[in-house]
Structure 1
Amino acid sequence: MRRFWGNLLGNQLVWLCAVAGAGRGWQWPALLAATLYIGSQLLTSPHTRLDLRLMMLALACAWLVDATAAASGTVRYAAAPFGWAPPPWILALWAAFAMTLTTSMAFLQRHAALPAVFGLLLAPLAYLSAARGFDAVRFAAPAWQGVLLLGVGWSIALSLLCWAGRRGLRGPGRQPLMGTSP
């Protein structure tokens, strides 16, 4: 239970450091917080190899989702060295989020539709919060287009990540996550 709460709260702390830093034009708070968080999660993980694979897949998803959003002009990221690419602080957020998929966000793997709905509806709220509370993200008018683009991208990406997580946990000699059906 301690690992669950450390995983959940640690990820939220990474998010706060990332968006607060990005709103001021800084990359380092996100990179430092994500490095410490990811390191601590990998040291205590019962699924280290899977967590690393999920992190690499999450970084690929970040490039697809956030680079598409940036290149479309519907979303602009603060502290972005290249306007068309996801900034390092966004990549740090995706990498940190991947660490939650076998622990605090494992519930997403219980039903195939859950990650799609979660990604479509809830992920854009994090971007809106980063925009309104910290000026880390800006949406071009009309804002709904950027929000929808991110929601669809996250819906697909989170579905893929959860599928990979379920598949990785069901490999030879592995038990499925608690609460998931085989």
Structure 2
Amino acid sequence: MLRFWSNVIGNQLVWLCAVVGAGHGLWWPALLAAAVYVASQLAWSPQPSVEARLMGVAIGCGLVVDGLAGGTGRVVYAAAHPSAWLAPIWILALWAAFAMTLTVSFAVLQRHLRVAALVGLLLAPLAYLSAARGWSSVTFAAPTWQGVAMLGLGWAVALPLLAACARHWQRRMDPINTLAAGEAR
């Protein structure tokens, strides 16, 4: 239970550091908070190689989802790279931190990929809207709904992909499940 709550609260603290920092034009608070959080989650993880692989895929998703949103001009990120097509480092730090939740607090999504798509479609854009309204770390070009829809659709694809990767890699790496599957044959 302690791992679950530290996973949830730690991820939220990374998000807060990232959006407040970006709202002030700073990318490094996100990087620092994410580094501490990711390191702690890797240390607690029974399968750190799974978490590390998920982090790589999540950063790739962030490059695509937020890179497209920024590159099209639908979403403008504070503390961003000079190229709008490159997702800002603070956003990528958030994706890396989020990857740590896929085997702990969001592990249920591994068994429910449609729910993962729905969560991505509906809830992920709320985080961006909160960042925009609360700290001005993200702004949306008019009409706002287009940027929100673009992010929602991107997350609706990315989150089930990440959940499926988590499920697949955990099964492959878990010697107890592997042994049980072999005995069942």
Q: Same fold (TM over 0.5)?
A: yes
Q: How many residue pairs align between the two structures?
A: 176
Match of 1:37 in 2: 37
Give me the whole-angstrom Cα distance separating, in 1, the residues matched to 2:24 and 2:140.
17
What residue identity is the alignment partner of 2:161? L
How far apart are 1:112 and its partner, in Å? 2.0
Give me the whole-angstrom Cα distance separating, in 2, the residues matched to 1:142 and 1:168.
40
Match of 1:4 in 2: 4
Give me the whole-angstrom Cα distance separating, in 2, the residues matched to 1:161 and 1:24.
30
Give me the whole-angstrom Cα distance separating, in 1, the residues matched to 2:58 and 2:92.
9
Deviation track 1:69-114 (CA, whole Å, cap 9, x = no partner) reads 0011100000002222111000000000000100011111121201
How far apart are 1:174 and its partner, in Å? 5.0
What residue identity is the alignment partner of 2:73? G
Q: Tell me which protein shows more helix as a share of its residues.
A: 2
Give me the whole-angstrom Cα distance separating, in 2, the residues matched to 1:91 and 1:81.
12
Give me the whole-angstrom Cα distance separating, in 2, the residues matched to 1:28 and 1:111.
35
Give me the TM-score of the superposition, normalised by structure 2. 0.92
Match of 1:53 in 2: 53
Match of 2:167 in 1: 166
Give me the whole-angstrom Cα distance separating, in 1, the residues matched to 2:26 and 2:113.
37
Do residues 103 (structure 1) and 104 (structure 2) align? yes
Residues 1:74 and 1:174: Cα distance change in structure 2 (over 3 Å)? farther
Give me the whole-angstrom Cα distance separating, in 2, the residues matched to 1:112 and 1:104.
15
Match of 1:86 in 2: 87
Match of 1:122 in 2: 123
Match of 1:132 in 2: 133
Give me the whole-angstrom Cα distance separating, in 2, the residues matched to 1:41 and 1:170.
19
SS at match of 1:138: strand
Give me the whole-angstrom Cα distance separating, in 2, the residues matched to 1:174 and 1:163.
20
- List structure 1 segments (4+ residues) > 6 angstroms apart after TM superposition: none
What residue identity is the alignment partner of 1:15? W
How far apart are 1:28 and its partner, in Å? 1.2
Give me the whole-angstrom Cα distance separating, in 2, the residues matched to 1:159 and 1:99.
15
Q: Which has the larger radius of gyration?
A: 2
Do residues 156 (structure 1) and 157 (structure 2) align? yes
Structure 2: unaligned runs, 5 residues or longer: 179-185
Structure 1: unaligned runs, 5 residues or longer: 177-182
